[in-house]
Structure 1
Amino acid sequence: MSGKEFVLPLYFIRRQTRFSLNEKKLVIFLLSTSLATLLLIFSSLPPNSQFNGDELNKFFVPKLNNSKIIHQENLHNHEINFKNKKLGNDNQKPMHDVRPEIDAKNLQRRETVKNMTLLAWNGYKKYAWGQNELKPIRKSAHQPGIFGNAVELGASIVDSLDTLHIMGLDEEVKLGYEWIKQKFNFKVNTQMSAFETNIRFVGGFLAMYALTNDKLYLDKAVEVADSLMPIFNSPTGIPYSLFNPVSKTVSNYNWAAGSCSILAEIGTISLEFQYLTDMTGNKIYQEKIDKIYDTLLKNKNQNGLYYNYINPSTGQYCGSQASIGGLADSFYEYLLKFWLYKKKADKNILKMYLDSIDALKSHVYSKSKGNLGYFGEYSNNYVTPKMGHLACFAGGMFALTAIQVDELSEEQKKMYKDMAIDITNTCHESYIRTATHLGPESFSFDSTNEAYAADKYYILRPEVIESYFYLWRITKDEKYRDWAWDAVEAIEKYCKTENGYSGISDVNSPNPNKDDVQQSFFLAETLKYLYLIFSDDDAISLDKYVFNTEAHPFPIRN
């Protein structure tokens, strides 16, 4: 071994037929010691007991805590050794090494979610492998417009790998890894969404790098992030919405007010780009973030609101629409999470976050006649009493605020916690008041109806379940697990197909039509949050990780 031949001790080698006197004494001593050990073992047994294999194990086999044994069908030897890599940060330990203590009911629920994930993954693998998403009924690929005509980016692979990893589905991870290594190519000549590219591809690759320390993922994240760089070429540094990785042309959506940039999109870059700077040492990514926030702070409204559209040429707002839902949602989410990621060190970002929520609470938050809290849609000093499914993430954000922001007074912490509970309850009501127990894309309030479906379709969105996850973690109220399970049963009943899962057209129909699209975020977010709800807190600690808006976990700086 190590160039040296291993030599047994001399007294174990038969080198002659007769023992010397010293050797005889040594043999007698060893036999005596062994006999004494056996007598001690037998004397420790209960009277009249038989000595069987189980009794013997008590003496020679270390006692194991069964609750800590890994409950996993497939363990863990493959070419990409994700489990045993030595990581440079304790926060980056592979999460499925930890098998939490959970009761039998929630263990079974978790296994159900894992089986749902396998059904969704296997359908995609069989009928749309390497393409972006799956049509589970037609058994073909679906190409979302957010990626232009780029049909083979493997969006569902990149988006779902960390979910598979957390669940310990290592053979599936290995398959995705090999596709990325051999087939992934982002040099596509088409116009696509910078926002979706960042949260799904850059975020997905970075999360897998954090969990495995495999540099392939970091290299791919850099490749995609670098292709995004032209979107920042505006006079203010405010990024454009659309880009072409090959021609490097950029633009904004024609439907956006004044063809301006969108608040949620310009504010949902900081986590990914700061982590890139921290992992690569390249400060260009951090500089892009800093310029965005500088521009926003210079153009702050007197009422404290950040409007949904901003002109990348001037930094001025386009119109006066504000909300915490679509077009704005993850801007607020990333203010809080960026501050958390930076180890709570950036006081300016924290102030920006707290001030923005104060403004939203003053101008946009209301309670219905039935005492349901909701965030409406603000425009020109008028609030429409309508809330989108996308805004339901806010319950989780406020819960995280209540436990993480030490600068708040006890009264303020209670305010955030109460608002978290109220918003999550309202979003739960939007589910259970429908025929399917699935939530609509948006819901409204009037003098006679509360949380009734406005846009009635459901596309496997995660935001309500995301808030259940945070509220469960923070309150330990079992009702949030039960609410999540109710959603699982509804998804199984109305969205499940032979080859995966589909959205539905009308949550109020007992027999809704299916839209035949399995969104990549169903694997990235919905199923991940469900799995974590039925797991112990150690499955992923909120003190060690922050999720990006696509539910990809990043380790907090140490």
Structure 2
Amino acid sequence: MLPRKRVKIAIALFTLLVILSFLSTSPSKPTRIQHKFTRKAQIQTARQNAVKREFLHAWTGYKDHAWMADGLMPLSGSRKQQFCGWSATLVDSLDTLYIMGLDDDFDEAVNATLTIDFTGTAGDCDVNLFESTIRYLGGLMAAYDLSNDARLLPKLVELGDMLHSAFRTANGMPCTHCKLGAKRGVLMASNSAPLADVGSLYLEFARLSQITRDEKYMKTVDFLSNTFARAQDQSSIVGLWPEIVIPSATDGTDPMFVKANFRYSLGALSDSAYEYLVKTHLLLGKTTKIYESMWKAASKQIKRHLLFRAFIPHADKTEVIFPGIVTRSRIVNQTLLEPRTEHLACFSGGMFAMASRIFNEPDDFHIGEQITNGCVWAYRNSPTGIMPEAFTALPCSDNDGRQCDWNGSYWEQESRRPAHCQDADCDQYRFPPGFLQVSDPSYKLRPEAIESVFVMWRMTGNEHWREVGWSMFESIIAHTRSAFGHAALLSTMETYDQDRYEKGLMVRKVLARRQDDMESFWFAETLKYFYLLFSEPNLISLDEWVLNTEAHPFRLTAGIRGF
């Protein structure tokens, strides 16, 4: 018979072995967002330099023809004013200049930024609170976080205080388009606003509070998030918020904040309101669980109602999901899906992928991967190699959770030309197989698809995503490059023979028609994501930075960050 002491030791050792065995077989909680890269993850220098050359081409056009303007018109070389004339392209580009190592240009741009009078001119125009927050406040904050240039801090506070005054309303909800400034009295909260305009303000003001240690910004963030959390179960699809909300109607016994609209989407009007649940938790999650709670309620309904599979050719047995648009009234308990997807919604692939690590939901990674696959398919199968702004697909007839096989006969039956259609009126039906309708064929130099491709690369280390991104880049540059920069496209679905000068020679090419517009997010987002895709993985690591919806990186703080 063993002595009692030896029995206790044996029991303790057995218990320890059971625990270790359980830990070795049970799924472990992720400890990082990015893939654990090895030394083999090299910079793709030639591709990275190609991206930088295109950035410098457009930046030189801006400097030479539209310096200090909101934007450059890349075909005519003219300048445009868009957001109160506060040099949107200049401020939006600061951190990209820094990330690309363009030190002299960065210093020149910072010096110019310091001359912008935000408060003195805020009363002369209706300030677009959302765009000013993500482009100007986000741009200044990222430049400060990256460079630690102390000169930027007073300018950051000047702008932050002016934008923060938009919340000086009777119910504390913002006025999304108002004349702002210290001299303004009590404002009126907006009677109607896109969901994204009100639900995408947490991240910037929360980071501003961290940097300045001024709690007034965080109090506003907390008030705003609590308002959205309360309203989450009041809409016609519990857990989601409709595309249009009413900031002025949050009080009373039956507040109408989320009850006057019945359309739900991940695209235009909504997009970053859902993105910011994940990213604000990443910034603040050790201090509050409200964003995690809202995300889990929302993501459940997004997966249930907004995502669909479609009949598409050339998918190469790849699982593909598209985000759609749904309508559900409070009277009729039925959800109607409109299988129309938007380039703007392509960000959601990266959103779901990151959320899968942050909230330890492995299945959500595959959701994100499949959404990204859908956007990549739309790029690869359009005539220009570029996804249109919005198109309608044909939903799979079986909702069994798997990708349906291409059925050419069924496609021809469902997409046939109407009998009354005459040749001159049939352009809308001349789309490649898989594109049922294209309601908006334009390309506005948007970044959302390459954003998700970038996130997939950083999270998997799979070189497939770099190859995909390079193909996208080559197509975009081929069609958008102009004399002074890069131009938005009128249509990604049609091409024409065009003559261009290249290296002193006239060359005829098949290209898309362009329009005289180049948004500041071309510098801030699209080219930045392409550059980071081919950079070393530690440059703006997703484990150390959170990028706002304009791709401006904010530094994560140990002890506060949520992952």
Instruction: Give TM class, smaller chain.
Output: 0.7 to 0.9
1:47-76 CA distance string (max 9 Å, x none):
xxxxxxxxxxxxxxxxxxxxxxxxxxxxxx
- Work out whether 1:457 is the aligned partner of 2:426: no
Counterpart position of 2:538: 538
Identity of aligned residues (%): 33
- Work out whether 1:331 is the aligned partner of 2:269: no
Counterpart position of 1:23: none
1:431-474 CA distance string (max 9 Å, x none):
11111111111121126353553310001000000000000111
Counterpart position of 1:84: none
Which residues in structure 2 correspond to 1:119-268 (within 5 Å)?
119-144=57-82, 147=83, 150-151=84-85, 153-188=86-121, 189-246=124-181, 248=184, 259-268=191-200
Tell me, yes or no, if the aligned pair for 1:132 and 1:156 is still in contact at 8 Å.
yes
Counterpart position of 1:486: 471
Whole-angstrom distance in 2 between the partners of 1:290 and 1:210: 23
> What secondary structure sits across from 1:454 in the alignment?
strand
Counterpart position of 2:227: 295
Counterpart position of 1:66: none
Which AA in structure 1 matches 2:478? K
Q: Post-superposition shift, 1:103?
A: 4.4
Q: Post-superposition shift, 1:394?
A: 0.4
Counterpart position of 1:367: 309
> What secondary structure sits across from 2:151 in the alignment?
helix
Structure 1 stretch 423-432 or stretch 227-236: which is displaced more? 227-236
Whole-angstrom distance in 2 between the partners of 1:443 and 1:369: 13
Which AA in structure 2 matches 1:363? H
What TM-score does the superposition give when structure 1 sets the normalisation length? 0.76
Counterpart position of 1:42: none
Tell me, yes or no, if the aligned pair for 2:325 and 2:337 is still in contact at 8 Å.
yes
Q: Post-superposition shift, 1:231?
A: 2.2
Q: Post-superposition shift, 1:102?
A: 5.6
Which residues in structure 2 correspond to 1:446-525 (within 5 Å)?
446=394, 448=411, 450-451=434-435, 453-511=438-496, 512-525=512-525
User: Structure 1 residue aligned with 2:263, among 321, 325, 330?
Assistant: 321
Tell me, yes or no, if the aligned pair for 1:234 and 1:312 is still in contact at 8 Å.
no
Structure 1 stretch 452-461 or stretch 339-348: which is displaced more? 339-348
> What secondary structure sits across from 1:164 in the alignment?
helix
Which AA in structure 1 matches 2:126? Q
- Work out whether 1:425 is the aligned partner of 2:370: no
Whole-angstrom distance in 1 between the partners of 2:153 and 2:70: 21
The size of the alignment, in residue pairs, is 442
Whole-angstrom distance in 1 between the partners of 2:75 and 2:243: 37
Whole-angstrom distance in 1 between the partners of 2:66 and 2:376: 33
- Taking a change above 3 Å as real, the CA distance of residues 479 and 445 of structure 1, as seen in their structure-2 partners, is same
Q: Looking at both structures, which has the greater relative contact order when contacts are Cα pairs under 8 Å and sequence separation is at least 6? A: 2
Tell me, yes or no, if the aligned pair for 2:75 and 2:515 is still in contact at 8 Å.
no
Q: Post-superposition shift, 1:549?
A: 0.4
**What's the RMSD between the two structures over aligned residues?**
2.0
> What secondary structure sits across from 2:93 in the alignment?
helix
> What secondary structure sits across from 2:493 in the alignment?
coil
Which AA in structure 2 matches 1:282? D
- Taking a change above 3 Å as real, the CA distance of residues 169 and 428 of structure 1, as seen in their structure-2 partners, is same
Whole-angstrom distance in 1 between the partners of 2:277 and 2:41: 33
Which residues in structure 2 correspond to 1:392-411 (within 5 Å)?
392-405=346-359, 408=360
- Taking a change above 3 Å as real, the CA distance of residues 319 and 391 of structure 1, as seen in their structure-2 partners, is same
Q: Post-superposition shift, 1:200?
A: 0.5
> What secondary structure sits across from 1:538 in the alignment?
coil
1:1-56 CA distance string (max 9 Å, x none):
xxxxxxxxxxxxxxxxxxxxxxxxxxxxxxxxxxxxxxxxxxxxxxxxxxxxxxxx
> What secondary structure sits across from 1:546 in the alignment?
strand
1:102-135 CA distance string (max 9 Å, x none):
647x210000001111111100000000111001
Whole-angstrom distance in 2 between the partners of 1:218 and 1:262: 30
Whole-angstrom distance in 2 between the partners of 1:331 and 1:133: 26
Q: Post-superposition shift, 1:301?
A: 2.5
Tell me, yes or no, if the aligned pair for 2:169 and 2:189 is still in contact at 8 Å.
no
1:238-265 CA distance string (max 9 Å, x none):
2222022357486788xxxxx4122211
Which AA in structure 1 matches 2:147? T
Q: Post-superposition shift, 1:298?
A: 2.0
Tell me, yes or no, if the aligned pair for 2:379 and 2:386 is still in contact at 8 Å.
yes
Counterpart position of 1:49: none
Q: Post-superposition shift, 1:516?
A: 1.3
> What secondary structure sits across from 1:305 in the alignment?
coil
Whole-angstrom distance in 1 between the partners of 2:478 and 2:369: 27
Whole-angstrom distance in 1 between the partners of 2:117 and 2:171: 33
Which AA in structure 1 matches 2:300? D
Whole-angstrom distance in 2 between the partners of 1:515 and 1:503: 5
> What secondary structure sits across from 2:101 in the alignment?
coil
Which AA in structure 2 matches 1:491? I
Whole-angstrom distance in 2 between the partners of 1:365 and 1:182: 46
Tell me, yes or no, if the aligned pair for 1:443 and 1:451 is still in contact at 8 Å.
yes
Whole-angstrom distance in 1 between the partners of 2:172 and 2:519: 31
Structure 1 stretch 154-163 or stretch 367-376: which is displaced more? 367-376
Unmatched segments (≥5 aa) in structure 1: 1-99, 254-258
